[in-house]
Structure 1
Amino acid sequence: MTATAESTIAAPRTGRIDPKYTRGTSAGGSYEMMAWLFMRISGVILVALIFIHLFSNLLVGDGINGLDFGFVAGKWADPFWQFMDLAMLWLAMLHGTNGVRTIINDYAERDGVRFWLKMVLYVATVVIIVLGTLVIFTFEPCLTDATGALLEASPAFCETL
């Protein structure tokens, strides 16, 4: 069977693109490439951080029965665990924000809706990152009153400090 003009298939992407799928040049290719690369790298790092987190919290020591206020307080007394939890918080929030940003870009058709959805996303991301960072670095398990005496709600390990 010989190929005729009627049976040939046009090369992909040679036709005209529907205008509703073309957006302005505001979204630069290099930014999207960096966002794509960030998703891959942060995803790999997050998998490692999550397995370290699960191993240290659930498999070492008393396991899930040992998870309580004192466990977290003791863990956050070490700068290493503060950094690990901070890295996991920041990477997870930025990774998730980038994914939701991509979904908004794909499905929000009107520019105004797209803009406001992304603004809400960015504000929520900043608020959660700032609050999470403050909690990690300002966490004080040993509460005292105005005279410096430990409150009754303080964990038992505070009495030995």
Structure 2
Amino acid sequence: MAATAPDIAAPRAPRNRRTTRTNWELYGWLFMRASGVLLLILIFGHLFVNLMTGDGIQQIDFAFVAGKLSSPFWQTWDLLMLWLAMIHGTNGVRTIINDYAERIGTRVVLKSALYLAFTITVTLGTLVIFTFDPCPPGSPDDLLPALCFD
């Protein structure tokens, strides 16, 4: 009769704290796919309206842009395009920094510059979209476009 090994349970691996947290990298990966598809729709819609309808590229001037930015629909469209493109691009560059910046100090500097550029661009772009006024009151007449006098 052969001796059998006692039935002893294998030691449990220590519980990893990371498995109990939210998986931000998974959400970032999912966001990149979803925002990429939505950006394709937004960008091709933008290009179609600006280049294929009406007189094509000849119609794009200050009055055309002023007309688009006065519409809440196009403000929302442009805002979505700006925010999604900036978040999508920032997340992509952040991933590249994580992959290729070997030193922690380099990584911190690059990510800080990236987040600063993101913040400035999104803030200024959002302000332009919502505060654009082609005919500001009190401006000299010789500086105003012709559409302000119609």
TM-score category of the 2 structures, normalised to the smaller one: 0.7 to 0.9
- Residue 78 of structure 1, aligned match among 67, 71, 80: 71
Amino acid at match of 1:103: I
The 2-side partners of 1:154 and 1:47 are apart by 36
Q: How does 1:110-149 map to 2 (within 5 A)?
A: 110-145=103-138
Segments of 4+ moved more than 6 angstroms: none
1:152 corresponds, among 134, 142, 146, to 142
Deviation of residue 152 (structure 1)? 2.3
How far 1:71 sits from its partner (Å)?
0.4
Q: CA deviation at 1:112?
A: 1.2
Cα shift at 1:110: 0.8
| Residue from 58, 66, 69 that aligns with 1:65 | 58
Over the aligned positions, Cα root-mean-square deviation in angstroms equals 1.5
1:38 aligns to what?
Answer: 31
Give me the TM-score of the superposition, normalised by structure 1: 0.77
Q: Whole-Å Cα distance in 2 between the matches of residues 153 and 57 of structure 1? A: 26
Unaligned 5+ residue runs, structure 2? 1-17
**Structure with greater contact order relative to length (CA < 8 Å, sep ≥ 6):** 2
TM-score between both structures, scaled by the size of structure 2:
0.82
Show structure 1 runs of 5+ residues with no match. Answer: 1-24
Task: Tell me the distance in 1 between the aligned counterparts of 2:67 and 2:146.
Answer: 12
Q: How many residues align?
A: 131
Q: 1:101 aligns with which of 85, 94, 102?
A: 94
Q: Is the 8 A contact 1:89 1:132 kept in 2?
A: yes
